[in-house]
Chains A and B, each alone.
Chain A
Amino acid sequence: GESVGLHLPTLSVQEGDNSIINCAYSNSASDYFIWYKQESGKGPQFIIDIRSNMDKRQGQRVTVLLNKTVKHLSLQIAATQPGDSAVYFCAEGGYQAGTALIFGKGTTLSVSS
Chain B
Amino acid sequence: DTGVSQDPRHKITKRGQNVTFRCDPISEHNRLYWYRQTLGQGPEFLTYFQNEAQLEKSRLLSDRFSAERPKGSFSTLEIQRTEQGDSAMYLCASSLSGLASGANVLTFGAGSRLTVL
A interface residue numbers (CB < 8 A to B) = 4, 32, 34, 36, 41-46, 49, 51, 89, 91, 93-106
* Shortest Cβ distance from residue A34 to the other chain B in the assembled complex, whole angstroms: 7
Are A98 and B56 neighbours in the complex by a CB distance under 8 Å?
A: yes
20 further A-B contacts with Cβ under 8 Å, apart from A42-B111, A105-B40, A106-B41, are A32-B104, A43-B4, A43-B93, A44-B108, A45-B108, A46-B105, A46-B106, A46-B107, A91-B42, A95-B104, A96-B97, A96-B99, A96-B101, A98-B55, A98-B56, A98-B97, A101-B106, A102-B45, A104-B42, A106-B42
B interface residue numbers (CB < 8 A to A) = 4, 33, 35, 40-45, 48, 50, 55-56, 91, 93, 97-99, 101, 103-111
With A and B bound together, what is the CA distance between A97 and B33 in angstroms? Answer: 14
Please count the residue pairs between chain A and chain B whose beta carbons lie under 8 angstroms apart in the complex: 65
Query: What would 21 A/B residue contacts be, using CB atoms closer than 8 Å?
Result: A4-B42, A34-B105, A42-B111, A43-B91, A43-B109, A43-B110, A44-B43, A46-B105, A46-B107, A51-B103, A96-B97, A96-B103, A98-B56, A102-B45, A103-B42, A103-B43, A104-B42, A105-B40, A105-B42, A106-B40, A106-B41
